[in-house]
Structure 1
Amino acid sequence: MRQEFDVAARVRQVIDEAGCTQREFARRVVMDPSKLSRSLGGTRRFTVAELARIADAGRVDAGWLLGTTGPDETAADTPEPAARTSPPEGGRPLQIVRETVRLIAEHGFHSVRVADIAAACDTSTAAIHYHFPGRAELLEAAVRWCMDEDTMRRAARLAEADDALEELRQLIDLQVPDSTQQRHQWLVWMDLWSEAARSTAIGQLHAAFYREWRRTIAEVIRRGITQGVFRDVDPEFSALRLTALIDGFATQVVATAPGEGGTSAEVMRTACLAYLDTELSAQPPHRPDETRSSPFP
């Protein structure tokens, strides 16, 4: 138990020296914040891969975290010593995850090999396994990174809005796959949906993300009712309908490349905003033939 306490104490030291919150540090090392908290509290052991990512983020040696090397020593079996002269932006773990997300979006999770990820990161397969031992860990990390990125973008958009109606419009716009980044994220979500049906761990992550996403929408709707911009509807049920509408349209949009005759991003945006007009807005709904031309052929 003494050794475990020392490990937790040294991880806390790394977090303190990083100058960020514990949650932000968890994002940097692509780790579930609750797992980091439990490990720091002594009710859960850090895995070797987690300690490798923590060492990378803190620019310290993993052996020092475990007490097997001194602060100025480097463990002999570490694939990538902490004293790199040109570390990837955000550290090696985040680089691995970003490239994994890109490759999954372009080729599908089951078509991506560890060797492909290593080549994209200009490193070795040993270095990939050092940070993420298996494909399951890589998929979970990729999904978690996408979730965190999406959550941060949502918070930024909500901060810019004047009222709940504008907040909801901003959230809808954020989900429309009209950029390469958004198309990539939706393609990763599609792989996640199929994996969630087969994997308990990924399924739980998927369920947690959607609970939080629907909760965000429901809170905005509830706020809009109080502000008088939305009708008196059931916020949870309306959030369920709206998120399902977004998912369905986004799937259609990314099913074909832009300009190939499928459902366009603009059609998705128009249809989802029309939902606000007809189902939520306290004002009379706009009529397409009165205020704008229909996006449909």
Structure 2
Amino acid sequence: MRQQFDVAERVRQVIGEAGCTQREFARRVVMDPSKLSRSLSGSRRFTVAELARIADAGNVDAGWLLGTTTDGAADGAVGGEAGGGAGRADGGAAGAPRPPAPTAPPDSGRPLQIVRETVRLIAERGFHAVRVADIAAACDTSTATIHYHFPGRAELLEAAVRWCMDEDTARRAARIAEADDAREELRQLIALQAPYTERQRQQWLVWMDLWAEAARSTAIGRLHADFYQQWRRTVAEVIRRGIEQGVFRAVDPQSSALRLTALIDGLAIQVLATGPGAGGTTAEAMDIACNAYVDTELTARRSGADAATARRSGTDASGPTADQPGP
């Protein structure tokens, strides 16, 4: 148990040297932030693969993190979970030397390179058609290196999906920063989900592989459920804010989020099923359809005077009002 806490202290030291938040460091090492937090508190052990990625991001020796070396020299292979097992010295974090400062930007680290290439290959070929050897070749490294950072295919798929989510979160924060209200936030969220760009198409293709794998794997199914809860919670929170602001009607945020995300998923599949210019559903059509749902099902009805003013200015998208019934 003592060594488990020593490992956590060394990881804290690496995070401190990295000069970023704990959440940002979790993104850099492609790790669930909650798992990192639990491991640092001692309620969960770091896996060796996680420590390998932490060592890579912090430019320190994995043996130093484990307490098996004190001078930064490599000490050979390690296995199993960190914090226990034969042959590991019980070196305390307090007496260990400070790790060297990173000499390269974190985004140039091997784990992120592996994940990016995994995303690209999954999007091009499908998860089951991608071999570890293919990823190694794309990264100009060995299969042993891939397994060192990500022991199995499930870990690679999880890392790929998590990276896509982190990318989406970063884009979302940038796009909605200037939104005037929750209705505009929701429009921006929809625009980010419509696969306009090649990067967005890649991420949707990874999601589709996650769905297929989740139907056959209990572990991946749990991952799928966790990610979808986060996504629906995000949409529900925006809807809830819109209700408080008066731009949305008094609907059930959770139910509305479920319907809207289901609409987004279904239309995205139609967009991806046909290539650009092939005559199928386009990203633009998906964007318009999802916004039409927001306008008809969520947007608060305006008074007759406000609606008339909006129609004259060409900005009304909320549908018929009480004073102006539809056909």
Q: Same fold by TM (over 0.5)?
A: yes
CA RMSD of aligned residues (A): 2.4
Contact conserved, 1:28 with 1:90, CA < 8 A, in 2? no
- Equivalent AA in structure 2 for residue 25 of structure 1: F
> What CA deviation, in whole Å up to 9, does each residue of 1:57-87 have, x standing for no partner?
1000001111222233233459xxx999878
1:132 to 150, 153, 158: 150
- Equivalent AA in structure 1 for residue 239 of structure 2: I
Check if 1:114 corresponds to 2:140.
no
1:224 to 216, 223, 242: 242
Check if 1:53 corresponds to 2:53.
yes
- In the alignment of these two chains, the number of paired residues is 287
Match of 2:15 in 1: 15
Of the two, which has the highest radius of gyration? Answer: 2
Check if 1:256 corresponds to 2:294.
no
1:156 to 163, 166, 174: 174
| Secondary structure, counterpart of 2:20 in structure 1 | coil
Q: TM-score, normalised by structure 2?
A: 0.82
Q: CA deviation at 1:175?
A: 0.3
Distance (whole Å) between structure 2 residues aligned to residue 87 and residue 127 of structure 1: 20
Contact conserved, 1:176 with 1:269, CA < 8 A, in 2? yes
- Equivalent AA in structure 1 for residue 199 of structure 2: Q
Q: CA deviation at 1:150?
A: 1.6
> What CA deviation, in whole Å up to 9, does each residue of 1:228-254 have, x standing for no partner?
212222221111111111111000001
Q: CA deviation at 1:129?
A: 0.7
Contact conserved, 1:100 with 1:117, CA < 8 A, in 2? yes
Match of 1:28 in 2: 28
Distance 1:85 1:29, change over 3 A: closer
Taking the TM superposition and a 5 Å limit, the aligned residue runs for 1:72-221 are: 72-77=72-77, 89-221=107-239
Contact conserved, 1:177 with 1:183, CA < 8 A, in 2? yes
Fraction of identical pairs, as percent: 79
Richer in helix (by share): 1
Distance 1:87 1:239, change over 3 A: closer
Q: TM-score, normalised by structure 1?
A: 0.90
Check if 1:266 corresponds to 2:305.
no
Contact conserved, 1:88 with 1:95, CA < 8 A, in 2? no
Distance (whole Å) between structure 2 residues aligned to residue 86 and residue 3 of structure 1: 29
Distance (whole Å) between structure 2 residues aligned to residue 29 and residue 218 of structure 1: 29
Q: CA deviation at 1:105?
A: 0.5
Deviates more, 1:208-217 or 1:126-135: 208-217
